[in-house]
């Protein structure tokens, strides 16, 4: 059974997570703006899509489908994202095992690694807010 009950619950969690990162760790968002990269993360089971547009200062986050063409496209299940954000699954292992697929210049994708790591410190509390077991 999937961790998230539906797409809305996943979007609620992602919005709270990314908004908190923007407020508490603005330097993480500034790195993305300086990179000028566009990253899309597509989750399945349930479906959700988030695009981070580093061509804006501060970076602009789009929840839902976007017409922007990302340089970095990440695809993973919502359960895999959940494990990564709980620090139960390292990013490198998720990539190596194919649980997370990255299209585009993989080395440039490391710019977004800080977002994942910052998220790990606040994600368990967010799970409580949105009714997801951590």
Domain 7-126 has what CATH class? alpha beta
3-state secondary structure of 13: helix
Closest CA to 100 of 83, 80, 118: 80
Written as tens digits, the pLDDT of the chain (134 aa) is: 889 999 999 999 999 999 999 999 888 888 888 999 999 999 999 999 999 999 998 899 999 999 999 999 999 999 999 999 999 999 889 999 999 999 998 778 788 888 888 999 999 999 999 999 87
The pLDDT of residue 72 is 94
The pLDDT of residue 133 is 87
d(CA 116, CA 33): 16
pTM: 0.92
Q: Which two tokens stand for residue 49?
A: 């899509």
Q: Is 87 buried (19+), middle (13-18) or exposed (0-12) by CB count in 10 A? A: middle
Q: Is the peptide bond before 125 cis (omega within 30 degrees of 0)?
A: no
DSSP state of 66: -
Q: β-pairing, 38-44 with 60-63? A: unpaired
The pLDDT of residue 1 is 80
Domain ranges of the chain: 7-126
The pLDDT of residue 53 is 96
């Amino acid at each position: 059974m999937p961790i998230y009950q539906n797409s809305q619950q996943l979007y609620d969690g992602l919005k709270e997570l990314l908004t908190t990162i923007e407020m508490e760790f603005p330097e993480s968002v500034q790195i993305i703006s300086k990179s000028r990269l566009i990253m899309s993360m597509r989750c399945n089971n349930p479906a959700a899509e988030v695009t981070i547009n580093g061509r804006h200062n501060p970076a602009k986050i789009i929840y839902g489908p976007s017409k922007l063409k990302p340089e970095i496209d990440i695809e993973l299940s919502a359960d895999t994202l959940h494990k990564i954000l709980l620090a139960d699954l390292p990013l490198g292992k998720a990539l190596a095992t194919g649980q997370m697929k990255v299209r585009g210049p993989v080395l440039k994708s490391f710019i977004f690694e800080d977002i994942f790591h910052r998220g790990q410190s606040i994600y368990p509390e967010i799970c409580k807010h949105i009714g997801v077991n951590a």
